[in-house]
Structure formats: C-alpha cells, structure tokens
C-alpha cells in the first residue's frame, strides 16, 4: 500500500475526549475513528489488524473442532423471555416501524441452543461445538475505555454441546490451551493469567483469562509460582491462597478480562427443553459450555501493553503490514529504487506499507513510530551510495544496513 493513498491520517494531538491509552494511540496512528462514545470505525490500518486477530482466533477454534457459523444480531424477544434475560440492563432493544420488537445480541445462548436442539437429537450427533465471529451490542452506561469496552464490538463466541461431564471437561481443557495459543500469537501470553472465578451454581470454579494492565477494570491476585490468578469474587473464600499450590503470597494486580470459559451445563438446554436420546434410547439433557473472546478487546489490550512514547509496537503476527518501507528525499534514482523494492517485496507476498509521500524524514519517522510496524526499511541517497538500505526494528533503537541485492532474503528472515 502506498502511504500517499492510505485513508486515515496520523496526528500528533492527543484526542481530548479519550482518556484511555488504547484509543489515544489507535486514533493518533490512524487505526480507528471515534463515531460516538463506545462506537468506533475501523480505518484501513485498524481493519487489517482486527482481521488478523480474528483469523488467528478462527484458526485456533477450527483446530479444536469448532465449526464456524454466523448467527443474527436480531433476536426474538420470546427467546430472551424463556431464559429470563429480556430485561437485563445491557440489552439494546430494537423497534421496527411496524412495531415489532427484537433484542440485539450481547451473547447468543438464546439462538444457539434452539438451533442445536433442531439438529442434534441422538447421542451420535454429539459432541459438537459451534462458534461465530460477529458483532455484539451492549448498552454500557459509561464507555470510556476505547475499544476495550464498547457498545458495539467484535466477539468470538463458541458453544459446545456434550452428552456427559467428562466430555465437557475434556473440551473445556482443550479450549484453555487454544486460548493460550491465541494469547501467544497476539503477543500477550506472558502477561495473561488463567484466573479462577466463581462457577456460579454449576461448577466449583469457572475461568477467566486476565491480562495485566493498568487499564484493567478488574483486580486479580496472582501466584507467581503457578502463573495463575484468582479473581475478586472468590479470593476471600480461598483465604487468599493459590488454589493450585496453596501459596499465600498472592499479589494484587490490575487486569483486563481477555477471555472467559464457562460450563453452562444444563442452564440453557433445560430452559429450551433440549433433549437427546442416549445409547439406551432414554431422553437426557445435553450439557453446554461457552467460550468468549473479543477480537477488538484483544486489539486494545495489545496496544495498552505494547507501546512507547512514540506510538504502538505491533507484535509481528498482527501488525497491519509486515514491513514499513520509507523513501527519503526526492532524488529520482532513489525513488525508482524504492519502487523496485516495493514491487519485489510484494511479489514475495510480503505486506508492505510504502511511505512514498513528499514529507520530511522527521515526519516520516514519527509517523512510522506511531503506526508501529515491526520492521522499517529506509532508503535514501546516503544509503544508496553503499548500495544498501537501513533497517530498524520498531522494538530496538539500533539500526543496521543490508545490501540492496540481499534485501528480500534479509526481510524474509526477519518477518
């Protein structure tokens, strides 16, 4: 992509109406635009990052046998009434001009349970798990955390269905591993803790995934030995000790919930009268689990964790482009060489943002830091005197040089 054509401008100014770091960085870098409180447009750079995160999640859900579907946002009032959730605060209610009323989905048990009931009747149809990556709506009274907590946001929600507890437990554990693979790939694994939470009426514990950040709204209590944590709901019950090793020196930290998994058991299958025939021809109620993770929240969390005074530092797998190619000066020979590099990198399927603008070196470097692409290549009259380009990684303050001839190979090793 030529930067001169890229829609969305970087800005030095910190947006006045944004108190959260993620929104400030993302707006300044030209990733998102605030449409209104808690509602953002993803600009071309931001959409690329969001799509990459969604695809990582998709791959890891597919890997544990999740089947992707797409459920509607418009949901039947009667189905919400069946589960007693129609009048919950977070629900946005929709009215049509012909006076039909719907709920806008903030979760999808009320769609997926009746759906599964239609198709799964025998024990032979189990287990299965369905997921979607879809837009959710929540009536948040205050929406001040940028894309960490929006009124409209991207969500992956997976629902699993089982004939017995062992099978539910097995899948529940697989999903834990899948979640850590995702956290690893988006670059926040080290700061993310499997966190014990209340299991509600059904289980001893449920689990959240909490990522340490000063932007977090939650307090968690971490055990350094086990790399796990306990949330505020249950810390007292546990007498401030680690549920794994009994360690009493838990450390209080601020964190944000970046995922949650929950054994719903028969809460929804029972409500919708969902039954299956077991091996002996007897009717039984299936067990359910639900597994949530918000791609837009992950994106915001990465920004909160991975930045410096210059801007965002994107982890490799989710950077909007793999390489930022910067051409300095207006020397035609240099420009011609820059275009050649741009073409040859693209030919190798390397994603390049090419700063071809007529701007000073200072402006270009500042913008490059704001945008935060991991690998920067600079070509100028000076570097061309040695038939080379300058390389700088966003994470490092060192620069190095590599020859024009070997550039493509060099880049392939680094991305």
- Cβ contacts of 265 within 8 Å, gap of 6 or more: 168, 202, 203, 287, 288
Q: CB-wise, 54 or 184, nearer to a copy of itself?
A: 54
CA distance 264 to 365: 51
For residue 103, give the 3-state DSSP assignment: strand
Q: CB-wise, 9 or 248, nearer to a copy of itself?
A: 9
Check residue 122 for interaction with a copy of itself (CB under 8 A): no
Check residue 40 for interaction with a copy of itself (CB under 8 A): yes
- Shortest distance (Å) from residue 8 CB to a copy of itself: 6
What is the DSSP-derived secondary structure letter of residue 73? S
Check residue 42 for interaction with a copy of itself (CB under 8 A): yes
Check residue 189 for interaction with a copy of itself (CB under 8 A): no
User: Which position among 5, 248, 249, 381 is part of the footprint of a copy of itself (CB under 8 A)?
Assistant: 5
- Shortest distance (Å) from residue 112 CB to a copy of itself: 9
Backbone angles phi, psi at 403, to 5 degrees: -70, 150
User: Which position among 15, 24, 47, 380 is part of the footprint of a copy of itself (CB under 8 A)?
Assistant: 47
Instruction: Map tokens 């048990």 to a residue.
Output: 109
Q: What one-character-per-residue DSSP string does 3-38 give?
A: TTT-SS---SSPPTT--SHHHHHHHHTTSEEEEETT
- Cβ contacts of 106 within 8 Å, gap of 6 or more: 90, 91, 92, 136, 137, 138
Check residue 50 for interaction with a copy of itself (CB under 8 A): yes
Size of the site for a copy of itself (CB under 8 A): 53
Element (H, E) at 363: helix 361-371
Q: CB-wise, 109 or 253, nearer to a copy of itself?
A: 109
In the shown chain, the binding pattern of residues 67 to 86 toward a copy of itself, with x for contact by CB under 8 A and - for none, equals: xxxxxxxxxx----------
Check residue 36 for interaction with a copy of itself (CB under 8 A): yes
Beta strands per DSSP E along 266-387: 276-277, 283-284, 287-293, 307-308, 311-312, 323-327, 352-355, 375-379
Residues that bind a copy of itself (CB under 8 A): 5-9, 33, 35-36, 39-44, 46-47, 50, 65, 67-76, 89-98, 100, 102, 104, 111, 115, 118-119, 128, 130, 135, 137, 139, 141, 151-152
């Amino acid at each position: 992509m030529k930067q001169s054509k890229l829609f969305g401008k970087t800005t030095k100014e910190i947006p006045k109406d944004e108190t959260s770091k993620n929104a400030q960085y993302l707006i300044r870098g030209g990733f998102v635009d605030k449409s209104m409180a808690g509602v953002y447009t993803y600009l071309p750079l931001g959409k690329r990052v969001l799509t990459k995160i969604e695809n990582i999640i998709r791959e890891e859900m597919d890997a544990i046998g999740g089947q992707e579907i797409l459920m509607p946002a418009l949901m039947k009032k009667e189905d919400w009434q069946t589960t007693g959730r129609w009048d919950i605060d977070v629900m946005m209610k929709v009215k049509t001009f012909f006076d039909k009323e719907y709920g806008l989905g903030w979760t999808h048990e009320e769609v997926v349970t009746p759906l599964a009931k239609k198709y799964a009747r025998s024990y032979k149809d189990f287990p299965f798990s369905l997921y979607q990556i879809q837009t959710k709506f929540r009536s948040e009274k205050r929406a001040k955390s940028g894309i960490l907590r929006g009124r409209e946001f991207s969500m992956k929600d997976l629902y699993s269905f089982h004939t017995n507890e062992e099978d539910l437990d097995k899948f529940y554990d697989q999903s834990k591993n899948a979640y850590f693979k995702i956290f690893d790939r988006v670059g926040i694994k080290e700061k993310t803790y499997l966190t014990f939470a209340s299991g509600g009426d059904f289980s001893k514990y449920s689990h959240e995934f909490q990522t340490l950040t000063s932007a977090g709204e939650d307090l968690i209590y971490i055990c350094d030995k086990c790399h796990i944590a306990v949330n505020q709901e249950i810390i007292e019950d546990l007498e401030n000790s680690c549920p794994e090793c009994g360690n009493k020196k838990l450390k209080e930290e601020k964190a944000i919930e970046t995922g949650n998994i929950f054994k719903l058991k028969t809460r929804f299958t029972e409500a919708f009268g969902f039954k299956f025939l077991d091996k002996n021809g007897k009717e039984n109620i299936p067990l359910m689990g639900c597994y949530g993770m918000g791609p837009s929240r992950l994106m915001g969390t990465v920004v909160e964790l991975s930045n410096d005074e210059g801007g965002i530092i994107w982890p490799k797998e989710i950077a909007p482009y793999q390489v930022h190619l910067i051409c300095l000066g207006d020397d035609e020979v240099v420009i011609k060489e820059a275009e050649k590099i741009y073409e040859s990198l693209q030919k190798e399927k390397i994603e390049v943002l090419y700063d071809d603008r007529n701007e000073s070196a200072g402006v270009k470097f500042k913008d490059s830091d704001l945008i935060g692409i991991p690998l920067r290549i600079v070509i100028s009259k000076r570097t061309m005197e040695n038939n080379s380009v300058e390389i700088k990684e966003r994470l490092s303050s060192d620069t190095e040089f590599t020859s024009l001839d070997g550039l493509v190979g060099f880049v392939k090793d680094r991305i």
